[in-house]
Amino acid sequence: MSLIFKRIEYMCTYCGKKETRSPSMGRPQPGKCPRKNGDKPHSWVINRRLG
């Protein structure tokens, strides 16, 4: 039995920025992480699953 989640909260492990998205949207765009040197992207991980 698989659980269906309506929202997934992603968090950047580096700067702590959070984005909540539906599972069908996939991960957020990498963007630029303000805490990393240069133009390095965010490091998104699944923080929690909602609903």
Give pLDDT tens digits for 24-38. 999 999 999 999 999
User: Residue 18's beta-bridge partner residues?
Assistant: 11
* Domain locations along the chain: 7-50
- Enclosing H/E stretch for 50: strand 44-50
Percent of the chain surpassing pLDDT 70 = 94
* SS3 sequence of 4-49: CCCEEEEEECCCCCEEEECHHHCCCCCCCCCCCCCCCCCCEEEEEE
| pTM, full prediction | 0.83
